[in-house]
Structure 1
Amino acid sequence: MDTMASALLLARFQFAFTVGVHIVFPAFSIGLAAYLAVLEGAWLKTGRAVYLDLYRYWVKVFSVVFAMGVVSGLVMSYEFGINWAVFSRKAGPITGVLLSYEVMTAFFLEAGFLGVMLFGMNRVGRGLHFAATCCVSVGTLISMTWILASNSWMQTPAGYTIDPATGRFLPADWLAIIFNPSFPYRLVHMGMAAFLSVAFVVGGTAALHMLRARKRGEAASEHVRVMFSMAMWMATIVAPLQILAGDAHGLNTLKYQPAKIAAMEGDWVSESRAPELLFGIPNMKTEHTDYAIAIPLVGSLILTHSLDGRVPGLKDFPRDQRAPSPVVFFSFRIMVALGMLMALTGFVSAFLRWRGRLYDTPLLHRLALVMSPAGFLALLCGWVTTEVGRQPWTVYGQLRTAESVSPLILSSVAVSMTAFVVVYVLVFGAGMMITLRLLGHAPHANEHDLSEGGVADILGARAHPDTVLDRPGHGA
């Protein structure tokens, strides 16, 4: 491999690493902001102090996660300019504008109300504080919308022209650009992924404290039971919907990115009545999937909803237009397996809820605890499937990744990559330790508020309930 090819590969790995770290935090923020809005709304509606305590418990986690999301996202802007200058120059008239919309709408909305949300509980009225929480939640959703509009346009470009003199993509129809063919499917799929990911973190946290209480011979507190119940309702309802959304997304991908589908399925020859490969090792050199374990006919049924449907094969496409099938093949299957396990967890919890045993079945609690990171792992695998499956293109079918990179010096990329890994491990490792420390103690009555505890409260200082000032909603 020559030096330029090595620099390109390292630049791709660097961007994949930074995006992989970053994407977890916005997804966490999106789901957790919505959960906080539900908790505060439930407190205002019912007057039950347990909802306010849970709000104060989780808003501390949100403050840490949101900060890490902002910091991790800043790096990518520099990478676009340094490592991917050609892409930025050619696609900037479209992707740059979409990302600027995200800053002008979502980021300003979040920034404007975040301080009120975090520190204003005892300083503004209940209605205004709830409005601030809702604005932050809506801001995270708007941010996701613009980012996915940009990325979806790169997957299924529409509404553009190409300047013959410069090769730049120029906007011709902004509605077609924003609502490109894959955007609605990816928006729904990503939104549900964020909600599910947070639901399983909430459920896993509650399960941990129920298991600890059981070990001590005590009953789980009302706070933990409410938290677990809400998380399992989300798993029961949203996990099956996510499977349906994924199926619709797959049909869309088959129509607009058939080469990606062929790589995901490990299929080499286009055929009707195609089998579904449960396992195998796609071999890019021999153009064959080794050790294949297949179910007859199911591939066509899943991908086309017809037993006679035709499924594309990688041999339908030139070798230099094929995604690396082994990576996409396994990342897709891990994502699907985790999705099925999340749906199974929701089904089991629904059955036990019906039997009145939701809170006294340790096996379910252990399952929920083990499944805590499942949503984020599935999200990362889905992102790998989406982005690696698009290769060798940055703008699908129009601009190759190899043509998008800046003139790079291998040693410079290697040094920056090493620095990124070291700094990320230190900074975000510390952030995750703080988050785990916050989750390590169970929520309790008169949960401490950020407006009183500040940074010390985030770092784990606890106030005894008797020392906390009376707050709205307590003792009502």
Structure 2
Amino acid sequence: MDTFLGFDAVMLARMQFGFTVAFHFIFPAISIGLASFLAVLNALYLWTRDEAYLRLFKYWLKIFAISFAMGVVSGIVMSYQFGTNWSVFSDLAGPVIGPLMAYEVLTAFFLEAGFLGIMIFGRDKVGPGLHMFACLMVAVGTAISATWILSVNSWMQTPQGFSIAENGQFVPEDWWAIIFNPSFPYRLAHTLTAAYLTTAFIVGGVGAWHLLRGRRENPGVRTMFSMAMWMAALVAPLQIFLGDMHGINTLEHQPAKVMAMEGHFDSHPDGAPLILFGLPDQEAGEVRYSIEIPKLSSLILKHDLNAPLAGLDTIPDDEEPPVAVVFWSFRVMVGLGFAMLGVGLWSLWARFRGRLFDAPWLHRAALVMGPSGLVAVIAGWITTEVGRQPYVVYGALRTAESHSPLGASAVGVSLIAFVVIYFVIFGAGIAYILKLMRHAPERGERGVRVEPGPIRTTGITPQQQMREDGHDMAKEGA
């Protein structure tokens, strides 16, 4: 067998696609949430005339623009792999996924691209109403883009509405059934909520960083941290609920994936335990050194302590997903989800006591949890995609039958090139974003122009404002 560094062409192609998707996924997760956050900030500024909201808008707009650009570039590179590494899949599934991808470009991407320039550069050139409308359209466009992409992915997970032609191609029969396939609503809700939660913790982490550096009197810092913690407290429990609903749907349509997630090698006719931790051994068919809670898995998945749950012993060996990868990626995702819930509840307690901006341990926790949403969405994506194996279209087309007729060395060399180029180019972009985050929203934030009308500042005394103005003047003099 043709191999490169011990891997065959199929595994190398999967590794390449997984690497590029993981890099790409973090940027839409940021831009989806930030687009909505920016729309809210702009609306609050127009409503209250509070300059703190305008400062935050300009501050996060620069970060959004860079994230959006890197998301577009990484997405284009990723799409080329359908033709280079997965040409058989593109040929067979193209009649279904091709139109859906085209709809994403025609609706969402054109909407985002059409209004992005007005959102970024148009505040001083168009009226506040049109500028606000542009902000809303960009936010709506990012959500519509996610909707089409998730419809494609969900169809690959729970395919329906098609027939298979004599040449093996998937022929669309019912577009409504294809788009609104069984897992699509759950996947859409879970992923969009994850994007908003991811953004909340990034914003909260940046706010916590500045609070820990003694910038508690800065109204922009206080506002961003407060808004982020409200989002964490309200959305984290919703996300856990949506994840539970998504899991139940997955059990119905992709039972082998749930068996791998739970580590259930054996069937449990009278209630399955929840395996918290352990070392899955797929060859031996067991989870070694497992720590279990009896019957809890049945309660979570079937809402009945004694409900039977089938195990991987009911699945043919050649249709089992890689259990260890799915088992641990699922636990990373769930563990971070509950950690987010803990920070959200902690912030509520601090807010109730009037200590939200004077709770250094909460700020340290929020800073550490800043990138947690990005890790969680990548772990969730790994759970979803690896758990679908050995199929690329679940139950209908195997991954091993979908790749291009390329040699392992060709795919391996291109994978190495991708890794080097991605870390150089996108590493520089991420470094610049971190540099932008390092300074606090300032009164002289570049691009801030206060429109005529009454201006209010939230939670800051005239003495504090004078000190902040003096600090800004000193910086400009220096």
TM-score range normalised by the length of the shorter chain: over 0.9
Pick closer, same or farther for the CA change 1:6–1:59 going to 2, 3 Å. same
Q: Is the 8 A contact 2:49 2:455 kept in 1?
A: no
The answer to whether the 8 A contact 1:235-1:346 is kept is yes
In the other structure, the counterpart of 2:246 is 249
Letter matched to residue 10 of structure 1: L
- Give how far 1:448 is off: 1.1
Please show how residues 72-471 of structure 1 align to structure 2 within 5 Å.
Answer: 72-163=74-165, 165-213=166-214, 219-271=216-268, 272-449=270-447, 471=451
What is the CA-CA distance between 1:7 and the residue it aligns to?
A: 0.9
Between the aligned partners of 1:168 and 1:396, the Cα distance in structure 2 is 15
Structure-to-structure mapping, 1:24-39, within 5 angstroms? 24-39=26-41
Partners of 1:2 and 1:318 lie apart in 2 by 27
- Mapped contact 2:58–2:446 kept (Cα < 8 A): yes
Q: C-alpha deviations, 1:86-126, integer Å up to 9, x for none?
A: 10001010111111100000000011011111111111100
Cα distance in 1 for partners of 2:152, 2:248 equals 21
In the TM superposition, residue 414 of structure 1 has moved relative to its aligned partner by 1.3
Cα distance in 1 for residues equivalent to 2:387 and 2:143: 25
Runs of 4+ aligned structure 1 residues displaced above 3 Å come to 1-5, 468-476
Q: What RMSD over aligned residues (CA atoms) do the two structures have, in Å?
A: 1.3
CA-CA distance at 1:470 after TM superposition: 5.6
Instruction: Output the CA distance in 1 between the equivalents of 2:408 and 2:8.
Output: 7
2:18 aligned with 1:16: yes
Name the TM-score, length of structure 2 as normaliser. 0.93
| SS at 1:289 equivalent | strand
Query: Counterpart of 2:8 in 1: which secondary structure?
Result: helix
The Cα shift of 1:357 comes to: 0.7
In 2, are the aligned partners of 1:57 and 1:447 still within 8 Å (CA)? yes
Q: Return the alpha-carbon distance in structure 2 between the equivalents of residues 400 and 212 of structure 1.
A: 53
Distance 1:368 1:448 in 2: 27
Q: Answer whether contact 2:216 2:222 (CA < 8 A) is retained.
A: no
CA distance in 2, matches of 1:337, 1:415: 36
User: More deviation in 5-14 or 15-24?
Assistant: 5-14
Tell me which amino acid in the other structure corresponds to 1:65.
S
Quote how far apart the aligned CAs of 1:222 are.
1.1
Letter of the structure 2 residue corresponding to residue 445 of structure 1 = R
Distance change (3 Å), C-alpha of 1:469 and 1:396:
closer
Q: Confirm or deny: 8 A CA contact 1:446 1:474 kept in the other structure.
A: no
Deviations 1:386-418 (A, max 9, x none): 000000000000000000111011111111111
**Counterpart-to-counterpart distance in 2, 1:119 and 1:31:** 20
Q: Distance in 1 between matches of 2:426 and 2:342?
A: 32
Amino acid paired to 1:186: R
Which amino acid in the other structure matches residue 57 of structure 1? Answer: Y
Distance 1:145 1:437 in 2: 32
CA distance in 1, matches of 2:356, 2:218: 14
Write out per-residue CA displacement over residues 285-305 of structure 1, whole angstroms, 9 at most, x where no aligned residue.
Answer: 111111111011101111111
Look up the equivalent residue of 1:176 and give its one-letter code.
A
Structure 1 runs not aligned, ≥5 long: 450-467
Query: In 1, are the aligned partners of 2:51 and 2:450 still within 8 Å (CA)?
Result: no
- Cα pair 1:261 1:312 within 8 Å, conserved: no
Is the 2:2–2:407 Cα contact (8 Å) retained in structure 1? no
Displacement of 1:471 in angstroms is 4.5
Cα offsets for 1:162-217 (capped at 9, x unmatched): 11x1111111111110000000000000000000000000000000000001xxxx
Aligned length: 453
TM-score, normalization: structure 1? 0.93
Question: Would the aligned equivalents of 1:52 and 1:473 in 2 still touch at CA under 8 Å?
Answer: no
Question: C-alpha deviations, 1:434-468, integer Å up to 9, x for none?
Answer: 1001100000124211xxxxxxxxxxxxxxxxxx7
**Per-residue displacement from partner, 1:202-242 (whole Å, max 9, x unpaired)?**
000000000001xxxx6431111111000000000000000
Q: Shift of the alpha carbon at 1:78?
A: 1.1
- Contact kept, 8 Å, 1:209 with 1:220, in 2: the verdict is no
8 Å CA contact 2:154–2:181 kept in 1: the answer is yes
Give the partner amino acid of 2:263: G
Query: CA–CA distance in 1 between the matches of 2:65 and 2:449?
Result: 22
**352-361 or 145-154, larger mean C-alpha shift:** 352-361
| Structure-1 separation of matches of 2:453 and 2:391 | 55
Shift of residue 469, structure 1, vs aligned partner? 6.2
Cα 1:25–1:219 shift into 2, 3 Å: closer
Write the distance in 2 (CA, Å) between the matches of 1:311 and 1:39. 47
Q: CA deviation at 1:474?
A: 7.8
Looking at structure 2, the residues matched to 338 and 8 of structure 1 have their Cα atoms a distance apart, in angstroms, of 31
Q: Which deviates more from structure 2 when the two are superposed, residues 410-419 or residues 321-330?
A: 410-419
Q: Which amino acid aligns with 2:280?
A: P
Amino acid of the residue matched to residue 221 of structure 2? Answer: V
CA distance in 2, matches of 1:78, 1:30: 23
AA matched with 2:111: L
SS at match of 2:134: helix
Residue 3 of structure 2: aligned partner: 3
